[in-house]
Amino acid sequence: MNKYVERLYNGVVKENPTFVMMLGMCPTLAVTTSAINGAGMGLSTTVVLAAANLLISALRKFIPDKVRMPSYIVVVASLVTIVQLLLQAYIPSINEALGIYIPLIVVNCIIFGRVEAYAAKNPIGVSFFDGIGMGLGFTIALIAIGAFRELLGAGTLFGYAVMPESFEPIAIFVQAPGAFLVLAMLTALQNKFKLPSATNTGRNSGLSCGGNCANCSSETYAAYHSDLNKAKEIAATVNAKKTQKED
C-alpha cells in the first residue's frame, strides 16, 4: 500500500480518532446534535490538523525541544483563528451553531497527539496526509453520530425532513444522554466489524498480550510491546546464565 494512502486508511479506519482511539470526546458529544454541525466541526478540525502537521513537520528541525509545546500551541492557535474568521465571514450559521467549540480546537488532543507523535518526527508529505486522514476519520465519525441523532431525535437529515409525518421524534437522542448512547452503539459496531479484538483473534502477534486490542494494534503501542518483549528476553537470558553459574 502506498505510504500516503496508508496514512489516510489509518486515520479513517485503523486508528480512527473517535471510534478506535476515543479522542476528542468533548466536541464529539457536544456538537453532534445534527449532521451539519458534525460536518462543520469535523472539516474545521481537518483543516487545522492538516495545516498544523504540515507546518510542524517543516519546522521540526528548527524548533528547540524545550519550547516545542508552546510552539505547537502558537501554530495551532493561529490556524484556529484563521478558520474561525473564515467561518464568521462565509458560513456564519455554522460558526454560531458551533460557538465556543471552534476556539476549543486549539486544545483538541487529536491535534496535539498527531503533531507530537507523528508530524514532529516525520517528513512533510506523510505528515500532511496523516493530518488529512485523521481529520477525515474524525469528520466521518461526527457526521455519522450527528446524522443518527438528528434522524431519530428530529426526523430530519441535514435539515431536510426524511421521516414520515406520523413519526414521533425521540427527544433523548438530541440531548446529552443520546450522545453517549449513539457513540457507544457506533463504537461497538466499529469494533465488531472492522477491528480485531482479544476475544475473536488468535494470539499470534508476537506480543505478550496478543496485541489484538484496538490500542495495541497501533504502530506506537506495537513498537512499545516489541521493545518490552526484547527486554524480557534479555532479562530471562541473564537470569538463566546466573542460575547455571550457581549450579
pLDDT band at 164 (very low <50, low <70, confident <90, very high): confident
Q: CA-CA distance, 128 to 55, in Å (whole number)? A: 9
Length of the chain: 247
Confidence (pTM): 0.76
Long-range contacts of residues 151-156, Cβ cutoff 8 Å, at least 24 apart? 152/178, 153/33, 153/178, 154/34, 156/34
Which range among 40-49, 65-74, 202-211 has the greatest average pLDDT? 40-49
Q: CA-CA distance, 211 to 205, in Å (whole number)? A: 6
Residue for grid cell 413519526: 167
Closest by CA position to 209, among listed 222, 220, 200: 222
Q: Could you read off the pLDDT of 49-83 as tens digits, one per residue?
A: 999 999 999 999 999 988 999 999 999 999 999 99
Q: CA-CA distance, 177 to 203, in Å (whole number)? A: 37
Residue for grid cell 483473534: 201
